[in-house]
A and B are shown apart, each in its own frame.
Chain A
């Protein structure tokens, strides 16, 4: 069998491992972190009794308990629902969240002998377009869930959610246009390579420095797309009845999981586009500044060779440090901001984010034209 095919299976397994493996602990992190922010302690009770001691691992048993609860719960269903759509809606919600991560590179290419093994599931030239195409499919899951539930409240929730998601998709797409102009590519791995350059010899050419406005716009639009606070008008847990009000058991759990996987995807995309992906500042490949192997080249001209293996490990670690930072940041943001009114959400999307992103695009285009 072809080794690239086998390696593809490995990268897919790693990707699903990251997404599904992190989604559970993320629900724990959300609850513990909100507790820390609100001067509480948070979940720390669930556990198993082993050898006369209660094993709770700081409350990390709670996601396991949640999963067991979700799976073993009765799957209730309204008699009048459209069964096919009702059953398929959670899947349509979950799958786009799972596959969006496929184009995100979480490390540099591994060169082992003659083989070049990419740490990325799919390297497609239209990478970013793929992200937009797939993530816009998620709106179908939401709308279908609202429609198929045969419940007025779910229907209203589905309409709210779909309107919001479609609105913010526009601003999200526009906010990244500037990046395409600057980097001249749609492929995330190539964009990450571009971000390894230095501006004026000392500033890493990360997206945040090249396109600071786009960063704010993208993060805002992405969080709105994910329907989290402050944009959680589609479904507000205890306050607003949303599109999955008729769901129970693991079908509800799939909507819930989709949200947390989306959080991870947003963190991964933000890292890739704006924070240099797996790049470590000043860590260059062999051959730069006369180095025989990979190492740091500091602005003063000093070099520090660290070796290719260590450099690769540092770069993969760098990606995950940034990823975890943005997971943390999104959770903190959620527990900081109050909820918008629905008209404010629409105002922000259409009257503020969209014009600002268009302006950003025009200015970027002018600057790129002037420089080249």
Chain B
């Protein structure tokens, strides 16, 4: 039951200063009071869904049975980071600190080292990403001049029991394959992905992030705190 009232004199069209008010009544008419017709139409909807989901070929149900079935993420889904290796297995990263600078969460920690390779001059002694701090914004990927860091893995970081296991080191990040990479392009005989050609021994035991061997590495002292002043 609705009714339209105008405050000013009724005119041909809406004049200035005229407010149109729609009064809506909440009184129930006889049909509403009997409940039965409304219940019948409601039953129609539930029964239709019930039988279509039970016997129909096209079901309304869109459930994904999670552990067995998994949703396919969109192509541009920003998954966990990975470091892209060069042909010799060492990371492409030249320790330019662009990603560390761009990171709003300050979760990337790089320690640069010198190399005799004249093309790159620098390489990362330490490249750590604290996936617990990461806000998955993708700015590091955009900042990288060498396409050394990507988020095309399509996976989530593994859950961890200890906070420090959320720090993924260089070897961890190098070991992750891209979404469409099958791993066959990687040279298994290449030397371990460390400071290739420098002769310097860095982190012999692998990294300490999730999946890597824990401990055994102490970050070299640099100027100031590695994560900046607002680290915690």
Contact = CB atoms under 8 A, between A and B. Distances in A.
Interface stretch (A7-15, A122-130, A330-338): A330-338
Contact of A37 (B36, B39, B49, B65): B49
A292 to B, nearest CB: 41
A39 interface: yes
B46 A332 contact: yes
Contacts of B50: 33, 36-37, 332
Contact of A39 (B33, B43, B62, B65): B62
A336 B53 contact: no
A171 to B, nearest CB: 14
Given A36-B50, A37-B50, A333 B65 contact: no
B39 A40 contact: no
B60 A335 contact: no
Residue from the set B33, B53, B54 with the largest chain A CB neighbour count within 10 Å: B53
B222 interface: no
A337 B46 CA distance: 10
Interface in B32-67: 33, 36, 39, 42-43, 45-47, 49-50, 53-54, 59-63, 65
Contacts of A40: 61, 63
Chain B facing A: main interface SS? helix
Nearest to A33: B50
A41 interface: yes
A65 interface: no
A36 B42 contact: no
A223 to B, nearest CB: 12
A216 B33 CA distance: 14
B124 to A, nearest CB: 46
A332 B49 CA distance: 11
Contact of B53 (A36, A332, A337): A36
A333 B46 CA distance: 9
B46 A335 contact: yes
B36 A216 contact: yes
B53 A333 contact: no
A22 B61 CA distance: 27
B49 A36 contact: yes
A336 B42 contact: yes
Contacts of A41: 61, 63, 65
Which of A37, A40, A216, A333 neighbours the largest number of chain B CB atoms within 10 Å of its CB? Answer: A37
Contacts of B62: 39
B46 A336 contact: yes
Nearest to B39: A337
Contacts of B60: 39
Contacts of B36: 216
B30 to A, nearest CB: 12
A301 B59 CA distance: 45
A335 B43 CA distance: 9
A75 B53 CA distance: 39
A68 B46 CA distance: 32
B57 to A, nearest CB: 15
B103 to A, nearest CB: 41
A36 B55 CA distance: 10
Nearest to A352: B33
A332 B61 contact: no
Given A39-B61, A336-B39, A352-B33, 11 more contacts: A33-B50, A36-B49, A36-B50, A36-B53, A37-B50, A40-B61, A40-B63, A332-B50, A333-B39, A335-B46, A336-B45
Interface of B: 33, 36, 39, 42-43, 45-47, 49-50, 53-54, 59-63, 65
Interface of A: 33, 36-41, 216, 332-333, 335-337, 352
